[in-house]
A = this chain, B = another copy of it.
Amino acid sequence: MKKVCFVGACGHSGSAMAPIANHPELFSVPAVSPGAPGVVLTGLVKRLSDKGLPSPKVYDDYREMLDKEQPDILVVDAYFCDHAEMSIEGLKRGIHVYCEKPAATTLEDLDRLEAVYQEAKEKGVHFAYMLTTRYDPWFYTAYQAVQQGAIGEIRMLNGQKSYKAGKRGPLFHKRETYGGTIPWVGIHALDWVLWFSGKRVKTVSAVQSSMANNHNGTMEATAICLFQLEDEVVAHINIDYLRPQTAETHGDDRIRIAGTKGVIEVRGGKVYLINGEAEGQRELPLLQPPQIFEDFAASLEGKPSLITAEQSLYFTRVCLTAQKAADTGEIIRMD
């Protein structure tokens, strides 16, 4: 039985709470904490009461919660600017951390988190963040196909995240709390680029704009990042909050990967492949991926997980560096 505490409910902590509520024989939730003024935990806690499970204690101060409850796992999902500090507080106490992305919103915070993680790692403490889209059947299926050689060696990757903007809370209105659209939204598309290719970034340039952001403060509504990866592999991601309210889904996630033997594409929740094995474009049947939090929990028992701490930290670094490139209008070397 693992004790899991939650701080905040601003992002995808439901990806942890759903399997927890379904498996009271494996997990318990002794306590939660809002993590910032105004963060509402009702929806998160309701998942427990819906299953007839006891309501967790609520702490105003998450540090006090950690000290008193001594959980096995801390789920970090507060204001994005606080992810790093809260993760550090958990890791320092020897608590495994399952963190909303990005792991940090400034390079300074990321440096601190990395240093603390390196120490915690020596003691067997785990850290991973919520790259939830890896566990979408379409991305998972495409990844497995690429791993099996469906498109040969990867030469180019083109990723897309497109969201409906809507009217967002104050968290999103300022860089100080939000962190920026490249790290918040773009990180998924960057994840596909680096996860599929297995390459590291050599240079990055980027552009972005806060115009046409539906009155959401300084939140960037558009951004494009351009990457030179190792071995002359090239990649880009384009990100926007311009998806119309009338669109069928909230997001329009895409990755297109061109290799030496074919092209694979994820679009509209489907996977399309063209290679030498058949004439024309084929749609691949979707595989069933593991559930992200269950995958994380299994990794605590020594099983391999789709997401590693090193990826979580490095991909955050790439996003923050891409944002710096956009802020400064410079190309930044990362090798």
Q: Which A residues form the contact surface with B (CB < 8 A)?
A: 153, 155-156, 158, 160, 162, 203, 205-209, 211-212, 221-224, 226-228, 231-236, 238, 240, 242-248, 258-263, 274-276, 278-281, 329-331
* Distance in Å: Cβ of A218 to nearest Cβ of chain B: 13
* Distance in Å: Cβ of A230 to nearest Cβ of chain B: 11
Identify which of B222, B236, B244, B276 contacts A246 (C-beta below 8 A).
B276
A233 and B209 contact, Cβ closer than 8 Å, known pairs A155-B242, A259-B242, A331-B329: yes
**Contact status A155-B279, CB under 8 Å:** no
Measured CB to CB, the nearest residue on chain B to A277 is: B246
**A123, B335: Cα distance in complex, Å:** 55
**Contact status A209-B238, CB under 8 Å:** no
Which of A205, A206, A240 has the most CB atoms of chain B within a 10 A radius of its CB? A205
A232 / chain B contacts, CB cutoff of 8 Å: 209, 211
A263 and B242 contact, Cβ closer than 8 Å, known pairs A160-B158, A207-B227, A207-B234: yes
Identify which of B226, B234, B246, B263 contacts A280 (C-beta below 8 A).
B246
16 A-B residue pairs with Cβ-Cβ distance under 8 Å, sorted by A, are A153-B212, A155-B211, A156-B238, A156-B242, A205-B331, A212-B260, A236-B236, A236-B238, A242-B260, A243-B258, A244-B262, A244-B274, A246-B276, A248-B279, A248-B281, A330-B331
Number of copies: 2
* Distance in Å: Cβ of A237 to nearest Cβ of chain B: 9
**A158, B236: Cα distance in complex, Å:** 10
**Contact status A207-B222, CB under 8 Å:** no
